[in-house]
Chain A
Amino acid sequence: MKPRHRRLAWILAGLIALSVATALVLNAFRSNLVFFFTPSEVAQGKAPTGRVFRIGGLVGDGSVQREGTTVRFTVTDNVHTIAVTYTGILPDLFKEGRGVVAQGLVLSDGSFQAREVLAKHDENYMPPEAAEALKRAGHPIGAPDQFKQKPAKP
């Protein structure tokens, strides 16, 4: 092989390696995207079954029930409400009436099994997904002021 051919072969090998890396990245990316749905969308059957996704909204008032480390509560966008179960320790700022985001799966009985519950460390903080759920449901009530919809411009 001439040096020029050899160099060409190596450049080709490099390009192939790079394409493999790109394919790997894009494939992992596609299969690890976690989509977000509001309680209303889940109630309308828009959410996938058998795939992990996120829901967001407010923790239903008076809905939290504990049984050992298993917790049952509801997540609502003030139109529809979903029952959620979670086993484990909840974040410090999890509270009834506050915004929450949960990631998990819908079970066959229609309830949501959370694998992760997220709440952030700021008392005024509303998870953007939770605010979005209230907004999409057209009921941004109960959300802190800054998340209330601005009046539509004429």
Chain B
Amino acid sequence: MIAEVGHFALALSLALSVILAVLPMAGTFMRPSGTARAFTDTARPIAAVLFSLVLLAFLCLSALFVGNDFTVSLVATHSNLSLPIAYRVAATWGSHEGSMLLWVLMLTGWTAAVAAFSASLPHVLRTRILSVMGGITIGFLMFLLFTSNPFERLIPPPADGRDLNPLLQDPGMVFHPPLLYMGYVGLAVAFAFAVAGLIGGRFDAVWARWARPWTTVAWAFLTLGIALGSFWAYYELGWGGWWFWDPVENASFMPWLVATALIHSLAVTEKRGAFRSWTVLLAILGFSLSLLGTFLVRSGVLTSVHAFATDPARGVFILIFLAVVIGGSLLLYAWRAPALGSGSGFALISRESMLLANNVVLVVAMAAVLLGTLYPLALDTLGMGKISVGPPYFEAVFYPLMAPAMFLMAVGPLTRWKQAPLPDIARRLRWALAVAIAAALLQPLTTDAGFRPLAASGLAFGLWIAAGVVVAMLDMLKAPDGRVRASRARLHPASVWGMQLAHLGVAIFVIGVTLVKSSESEREVQLAPGQSIEVGGWRVEFKDLRTVTGPNYDAMRGRFELRRQSDAANTPPRAVLLPEKRVYRAQRMPMTEAAIDRSLWRDVYVSMGEPLTGNDWAIRVHVKPFVNWIWLGCVLMALGGFVAIADRRYRRRLAARDAVSANAPQVAGGLAPR
């Protein structure tokens, strides 16, 4: 019964999404009349009902999982009587069908959010945005209903389910997919803004100001989602890596790179009215990459933990949908973009040109990732042989490409719009430069390997960005009499503080990555209880081994004591680590659970390989300095995004209406020219 209710709710929402895509949109093209108004006025209530229906379907599926209703095929293949309840809830999106339902839930959620929180938008623009979102929803609901129905029955039901993939039985599964999808799907809002703007032919500072907070929120969620995925892979996969340049990771990283370019380009469009066509193109590109990522992950052309099932029909469907969305929006762009006009000009040394450079770098980097991701697939599809492109390619390409962006990150925020004096910028950044050079020279202190140019430059860039942020913040707090006063913080808008925070996050990320790459140490050894090994200044002693019985698995659990190499043998251990080797009963699948002693300065990571002769085990120990800075940096970036949207100017309704006619560069708010 529950399954049928869920299925019916989905079918009903498909009908509603068709109405949402057609009726209000048609209303915006009719001559102003009572009928036109009645048509356009349907958009907001339909968006709300659509979201409620999809939410109902989603809750139905969750209820089926919680109740372990094995007459539903999806539940029978992804749950088990002994699966703990939290993972039964998470199993709702632990399959292809379920994760697509989560996708649609997020999409209709964003649509409802736009309907609820866009009172400041002109009626026509708002209506068109909702209609475009409705159109995207049609595509995904059809995909769900016709190729991946989550409510399909299985008669007769099995006695027990096949269980959720053990790799997914982790708290990470509860948070990573929803956060990532919030970001992925949130880019649809930026896309809808762009398409609605193209239809109306109006892009100006005011349009950009409306589109900005939505894009920033989506970007912040995407950042969190990717970071959480990386954090999860780090502790779950058992070999201490945190980013693999796996096609599935790239599929989420490419939209992130473009979204990052987009939030910077939107800043120029809002403040100076420039880069209009470019901004629109980026919004289209960002969502297109989101769809491409969905295609890569969901069609089965890739095989990975994320690709749950393979079915050619699904791939073909998404490919057609991809072609319609990208092709349609690009056609619209080609038709309308010439009418957009350009903003005011700017000099070579100006905030605009810095942000232009940022955009070029990010898009080139995205293209490099795209090449490395798609080329092996293309060759394989054309039958020209199997190749793979591994991390060495991405590492060799990414760092040099990002170097100019990292350099400009400290310069850009200190540079005025339109035209800036170079000597003044140089004078203000001289201390930051000194800090960066000092960091490069002191690099040999961080490792035993001596001076390493790559590591030295990474440290220099990290500290250069951080110092640039400090300089900019001190400038903002400086009173006319030259003294720094904290009370001056409220004189600057939240968006500027958010930007500084996000940039500081990048600095911390860069420092973390550099130090992990340059001074991590790892050993894989044969070890028996009673023996110990020394890695990177730490001594890890294998104390004993015992069997443990979990709710749905059996495990061997090792006990390891952690001491510094300089500690005496009888000092109490600084930490006790308990890694496990599990075998999940339903699928007879072995799993490695690493144990990690975390701190801000280093992680000590122990995982168990396989049993060797006698009581000996293959044991892997990593010491990873500053590895947590990587995710800390990402969290700061996302936090910066959330701070930025708290800016009051995004909430000023009347002010925004007044500004509709004034297409002048906005000086109020933002880092005003000094």
Contact = CB atoms under 8 A, between A and B. Distances in A.
Interface of A: 6, 10, 14, 18, 21, 24-25, 28-29, 32-36, 54, 66, 68-69, 87-90, 92-93, 103, 120-123, 125, 127-129, 132
B392 A123 contact: no
Interface in B286-331: 303-305
Given A93-B590, A122-B165, A32 B390 contact: yes
A36 B389 contact: no
A11 to B, nearest CB: 10
Contact of B397 (A24, A120, A129): A24
Interface string B573-615: 0000000000000011111100000000000000101101100
Interface in B54-77: none
Given A89-B239, A90-B610, A92-B590, A25 B397 contact: yes
Given A28-B397, A89-B239, A132 B386 contact: yes
B364 interface: yes
27 contacts: A10-B348, A18-B364, A24-B397, A25-B367, A25-B371, A25-B397, A29-B372, A29-B375, A29-B393, A32-B390, A32-B396, A33-B389, A34-B388, A34-B389, A35-B385, A35-B387, A36-B388, A54-B386, A90-B609, A92-B589, A93-B589, A121-B165, A121-B166, A121-B305, A122-B305, A123-B587, A132-B386
B525 interface: yes
Contacts of B591: 92
A29 B400 contact: no
A125 B306 CA distance: 13
Interface string B499-527: 00000000000000000000000001110
Chain B interface residue bracket vs A: 35 or more
Contacts of B351: none
Contacts of A29: 371-372, 375, 389, 393, 397
Interface string B370-396: 011001000000000111111011001
B618 interface: yes
Contacts of B526: 68-69
Interface of B: 165-167, 238-239, 303-305, 348, 360, 364, 367-368, 371-372, 375, 385-390, 392-393, 396-397, 400-401, 524-526, 587-592, 607, 609-610, 612-613, 618, 620
Contacts of A6: 348
Contacts of A14: 360
Contact of B393 (A32, A88, A103, A128): A32
Contacts of A89: 239, 524, 607, 609-610, 618, 620
Contacts of B303: 120, 125, 127-128
Question: Shortest 4 CB-CB distances between A and B: which pairs?
Answer: A89-B609, A32-B393, A36-B386, A28-B396
Contacts of A120: 303-305
Contacts of A68: 526, 612
